[in-house]
Chains A and B, each alone.
Chain A
Amino acid sequence: NAGVTQTPKFRVLKTGQSMTLLCAQDMNHEYMYWYRQDPGMGLRLIHYSVGEGTTAKGEVPDGYNVSRLKKQNFLLGLESAAPSQTSVYFCASTISNQPQHFGDGTRLSIL
């Protein structure tokens, strides 16, 4: 019962570097989401997907791209990392009209 798995768990980048965060779910969920969590601001939606091959912008999409090539995977990319993107990133998944299940997060620091 893996649920939602995020890799890596921790990462330190230099400004301008690129990287991809991977989210994998084994529950056959249609909907997947990427959030960032910053102190005092709760969870803010970056991008989401309602099915394989589809993506949509959330509340704070700038500086990020996503892809959903396979139903079970949702990738979050940072093309040119900036210090403002230092955060904890959470992936979540669900089926329609059900609460979301979250992964344990990726802690990302941009120097």
Chain B
Amino acid sequence: GQQLNQSPQSMFIQEGEDVSMNCTSSSIFNTWLWYKQDPGEGPVLLIALYKAGELTSNGRLTAQFGITRKDSFLNISASIPSDVGIYFCAAPKTSYDKVIFGPGTSLSVIP
């Protein structure tokens, strides 16, 4: 079935470094979503992408909708300790009645 793959699985970086992570699939999607989950909390939407090739920013975060519609990328610039958490990509299968999630990328920031 459809599934999303995320890499890397986990990252340990120094505060101030830039971060890149990606999400890939063998299926085509028309929407890509990026969520962040802080420890002990539920996922919170960071960025939503609706068009192939689209590049969208939210503060220090920038996400791109891959041109093939089979992948998406998330970059975080100048990381800070509060960036720690798990980052999930997600995509609606057909409509929002069913959304599939990637396994997540765990980010740790070393002060």
Residues of A within 8 A of B (CB): 4, 31, 35, 40-45, 48, 50, 56, 58, 90, 92, 94, 96-105
Contact = CB atoms under 8 A, between A and B. Distances in A.
Given A90-B42, A102-B44, A105-B42, A42 B96 contact: no
Contact of A104 (B4, B40, B45, B103): B40
Interface of B: 4, 9, 33, 35, 40-45, 48, 88, 95-104
Q: Looking at B35, B99, B102, which has the most chain A CB atoms within 10 Å of its CB? A: B99
Given A31-B96, A42-B88, A104-B40, A99 B101 contact: no
Contacts of B35: 102
A85 B48 CA distance: 31
Given A40-B103, A104-B41, A97 B88 contact: no
Given A31-B97, A50-B97, A94-B96, A102 B42 contact: yes
Contact of B98 (A40, A58, A105): A58
Contact of B96 (A35, A96, A103, A104): A96
Given A41-B103, A42-B101, A102 B43 contact: yes
A102 to B, nearest CB: 3
16 contacts: A31-B96, A31-B97, A40-B9, A42-B101, A42-B102, A43-B88, A43-B101, A56-B97, A90-B42, A92-B42, A98-B96, A99-B33, A100-B99, A102-B35, A102-B44, A104-B40
Nearest to A96: B96
